[in-house]
């Protein structure tokens, strides 16, 4: 005879409770483990960030010459990417442009150079013949010649640089020659480590070459520097005999000294609160002759016509540094030098550090300035 099984409800309930307790404890253990595992990631990251900004980056910047120079000159930043600078017409859309290589007097540095001919010379130039244009005919007119000295980073084909060349060479009110050079270590020039004196020497090589091409007509030359190139331009002209200086100098977004530029650079905001900011980030650049520029100290020796262009919303080189340089030029240049001129671009235009070429009034500003330089009037 089969017995009917009677299940004990209390036992079942106890089992359910035990299961529920074990599941709850498991969940609690998992929830407690999450903060612990998260803290294992977050705390080391915070410690690393703290050490990086307080010790690692400052120490590396002060005692590593390659890092320090790389950040100042930024010649490693090859922009635009995948473009052949030796073919300016096809790769950059620059009509009537010669690609040249000029060698330094000691034959140690080969400099990549573009010569953008003015719009009036288009008839002589086409894709097949511009490189064959005889050297003695390339500057065979009376148009002004702009020697352009670019800032750090990239090469002579940078977009804002290219657009300025087009404006200066192709605008109907200007039609100037443009000679744009890549310093050592930039573009397709000789791969040497850039230094302050090296950049100035390279600019001098091209300036002397230009004087030869123009048969000594320095009155046709305008030197235009942008950002770091403003220091190169000022140093170049300051070491040139006043009688051989160019007709005019244009400084776009200039700074007073490397010291001031570093203190005001956006990257410096990450380290400015460091108690030894000056020791780690300013002193190494200023005390090293290979990285120091003191434009304000050299501007007094620029005796030719001088114009400073600066946008108020420049976030890389503050507008105030351009103002200070203008004031220094006003106060320290000899009485025989024409008064400097400063043109300010309102921040509402959003030109920033590289966009002044977009200004609709710029062709007139340049044309008037160049005309006054040629006539000796201001």
Q: Would you state the structure tokens that stand for residue 260, as one six-digit string? A: 């001031």
Token reading at 252: 């776009």
Over the range 194-224, which residues count as b (16 or more CB within 10 Å of their CB) and which as e? Answer: bbbebbbbbbbbbbebbbebeeeebebbbbb
3-state secondary structure of 265: coil
Residues classed as catalytic: 227, 314, 353
Q: Nearest 5°: CA angle at 248, between 245 and 251?
A: 110
Instruction: Classify residue 251 as exposed, middle or buried by CB count within 10 Å of its CB (0-12, 13-18, 19+).
Output: buried
**177-181 and 145-149 as β-strands: parallel, antiparallel, unpaired?**
parallel
CA distance 280 to 240: 35
The string over 18-45, giving b where at least 16 C-beta atoms fall within 10 Å of a residue's C-beta and e elsewhere, is eeeeeeeeeeeeeeeeeeeeeeeeeeee
* Separation between Cα atoms, residue 198 and residue 187, nearest integer Å: 15
Q: Tell me the torsion sign for CA atoms 189, 191, 197, 199.
A: positive
> Is the Cβ–Cβ distance between 304 and 245 less than 8 Å?
yes
Q: Which two tokens stand for residue 44?
A: 């080391």
Please, where are the H alpha helices in the chain? 9-51, 57-63, 65-73, 88-92, 135-138, 159-170, 196-213, 228-238, 258-264, 277, 283-287, 295-298, 319-332, 362-375
């Amino acid at each position: 005879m089969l017995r009917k099984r009677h299940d004990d409800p209390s036992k079942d309930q106890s089992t359910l409770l035990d299961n529920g307790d074990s599941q709850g404890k498991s969940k609690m253990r998992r929830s407690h483990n999450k903060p612990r595992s998260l803290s294992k990631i977050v705390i080391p990251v915070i410690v690393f960030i703290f050490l990086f900004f307080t010790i690692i980056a400052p120490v590396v910047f002060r005692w590593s010459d390659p890092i320090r120079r790389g950040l100042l000159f930024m010649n490693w930043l090859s922009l635009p990417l995948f473009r052949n600078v030796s073919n300016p017409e096809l790769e950059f859309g620059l009509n009537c442009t010669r690609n040249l290589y000029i060698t330094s007097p000691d034959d140690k540095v080969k400099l990549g150079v573009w010569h953008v001919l003015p719009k009036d010379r288009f008839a002589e130039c086409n894709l097949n013949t511009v490189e064959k244009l005889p050297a003695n005919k390339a500057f065979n007119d009376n148009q002004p010649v702009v020697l352009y000295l670019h800032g750090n980073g990239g090469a002579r084909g940078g977009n804002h640089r290219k657009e300025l060349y087009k404006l200066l060479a192709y605008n109907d009110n200007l039609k100037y020659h443009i000679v744009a050079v890549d310093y050592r270590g930039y573009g397709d020039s000789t791969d040497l480590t850039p230094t302050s004196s090296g950049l100035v020497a390279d600019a001098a090589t091209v300036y002397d070459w230009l004087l030869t091409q123009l048969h000594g007509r320095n009155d046709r030359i305008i030197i235009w520097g942008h950002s770091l190139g403003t220091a190169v331009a000022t140093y170049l002209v300051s070491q040139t005999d006043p009688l051989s200086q160019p007709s005019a100098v244009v400084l776009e977004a200039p700074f007073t000294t490397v010291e001031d530029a570093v203190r005001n650079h956006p990257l410096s905001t990450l380290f400015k609160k460091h108690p030894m900011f000056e020791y780690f980030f300013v002193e190494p650049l200023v005390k090293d002759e290979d990285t120091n520029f003191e434009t304000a100290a050299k501007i007094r020796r620029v005796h030719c016509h001088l114009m400073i262009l600066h946008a108020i919303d420049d976030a890389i080189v503050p507008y105030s540094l351009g103002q200070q340089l203008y004031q220094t030029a006003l106060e320290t240049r000899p009485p025989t030098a024409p008064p400097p001129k400063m043109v300010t671009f309102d921040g509402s235009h959003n030109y920033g550090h590289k966009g002044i070429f977009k200004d609709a009034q710029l062709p007139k500003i340049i044309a008037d300035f160049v005309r006054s330089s040629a006539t000796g009037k201001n």
